[in-house]
Structure 1
Amino acid sequence: MKLQERSYSGKIMRPKPLIHVEEDGSLIVVVTTWGQSEHGERALNEVVKYVSAAKADVEVTSPFEFLTCISDEANYVRTALMIANDALYRGENRKEYASGVEVLALFKRGSQVAWAQVGAPSIFVQRQNQRLQPLSIATDLASELRDQAELPPLPAQLLGMDPTCNIQTGHTHVSDGDKLVLFAGTSVATTLWGLQSYETDLNMLTQAMIQEEPELPFWLGMIAV
């Protein structure tokens, strides 16, 4: 997997995510920190460490059970997020809240891409000669409160704030030429929904989204799988 990404902030700011891309392209982790940056780095490192050990068939132990209803790869990234949640909650937030993070982990093995996430970004798939389809949608509470004025982003789900966390997970089949589109923002621009399978110029797409909603910050990623 190869990732291209862009961030946009105008008068309203949105934290720029930390990104890890494995050298072989098998793992991509996107972490947005709401608080102290080192806490996001800690969560990212926990995820990368566990998935790297699991995919290498290293004997790893976990206090969390595997779910039989999802693939092994989806279990790996789900378990990694649970470990990161436990580390951040126990290490930083048990007595008082210091930081929360949004995390997405994508793991590709063969023709399958598995994901696990808490919060943004949303995941869309664009298969060859098809329109954009949502795989997993992350909500922003600012969209619920938005009336006339534009509001700063307000994450609905954060990792590390509680002993448990709400993890969205799944997997999908991909073929050569397919793309994954990642989006973090208050509302999905119509420009994105209208994306054609041959459109791969991230700069042009970013500029079109800015023209449509110039006040709203967002982060956009495009992955060639």
Structure 2
Amino acid sequence: MKLQERSYSTKVLRPKPLIHTEEDGSLIVVATSWGQPEHAQRALDEVVKYVSAAKADVEVTSPFEFLTCLTDEANYVRTSLLIANDIIYRGDNRAQYQSGVEVMALFRRGSQIAYAHVGCPSLYLQRNGQRLQPLSVGLDLSSELQDGSVLPPLPAQLLGMDPTCHIQCGHTYVREGDQLVLLASPATATSLWTRDAYQQDLGDITNRMIQEFPESPFWLGLVAV
């Protein structure tokens, strides 16, 4: 997997994420801190450490349940987020909230891509020659509060704020020419769903988002698989 990314800023700001990509392209982690920047780095490090050990067949222990309804790879990224949540909550937020983190982890093994995330970005699949389709959507609460004005981003789910956290996870199978679209934004441009959407690249998607929501900041990532 290879990631291209772009941030769009306006008078309203969205925190810029930290990104980790394994040299072999098997793992991508996107972590956005809402508070202390070092907490995003801590979450990212924990995810990379656990998934790297798991994919190398190193025996790893975890206090969290292995879900039989998920593939091994999806369990790896899900468990890594649970570990990161536990470490940040117990180490930083138990007595007083310091910050929370949005995290997306993508792990590829063969033709399978497993994903797990808390909050944004949302994950879309762009199959070669087909329209964009959503895989898993992260909500931004500012879209529920809008009264005609552009509001600052307001994450609906954050890692590290509670002993438990809501993790959206699963997997999909990809072929050559497919790509994943990662988008952290209160809304998605309607033009991205049109028939010619499969011709889009990073610049095209960025332009479509800006044309429809010129005052709304967003982060966009395009993953070639």
Provide the TM-score with structure 2 as the length reference.
0.97
1:167 corresponds in structure 2 to 167
Q: Which amino acid aligns with 1:123?
A: L
Q: Is the 8 A contact 2:189 2:208 kept in 1?
A: no
Q: Which amino acid aligns with 2:35?
A: G
Q: Which amino acid aligns with 1:168?
A: Q
**Aligned residues between the structures:** 224
Gaps of 5+ in 2: none
1:20 corresponds in structure 2 to 20
Shift of 1:65: 1.4
Shift of 1:204: 3.1
Task: Give the Cα separation in 2 of the matches to 1:165 and 1:216.
Answer: 27
Pairwise CA RMSD:
0.9
Identity of aligned residues (%): 70
Is 2:55 the partner of 1:39?
no
Shift of 1:56: 0.3
1:186 counterpart SS class: coil
1:103 counterpart SS class: strand
Name segments (4+ residues, structure 1) moved above 2 Å.
191-196
Task: Give the Cα separation in 1 of the matches to 2:178 and 2:89.
Answer: 37
Is 2:195 the partner of 1:197?
no
1:74 corresponds in structure 2 to 74
Provide the TM-score with structure 1 as the length reference.
0.97
Deviations 1:182-218 (A, max 9, x none): 0001111123323622322x12321232122111000
1:216 corresponds in structure 2 to 216
1:126 corresponds in structure 2 to 126
Q: Is the 8 A contact 1:157 1:166 kept in 2?
A: yes
2:38 counterpart SS class: helix
Task: Give the Cα separation in 2 of the matches to 1:208 and 1:86.
Answer: 38
Deviations 1:86-142 (A, max 9, x none): 000000000000010000000000000000000000000011111000000111100
2:113 corresponds in structure 1 to 113
Q: Is the 8 A contact 1:85 1:159 kept in 2?
A: yes
Shift of 1:20: 0.4
Task: Give the Cα separation in 1 of the matches to 2:102 and 2:23.
Answer: 23
Task: Give the Cα separation in 1 of the matches to 2:22 and 2:213.
Answer: 33
Q: Is the 8 A contact 1:191 1:205 kept in 2?
A: no
2:53 corresponds in structure 1 to 53
Question: How do 1:88-167 residues align onto structure 2 when only pairs under 5 Å count?
Answer: 88-167=88-167
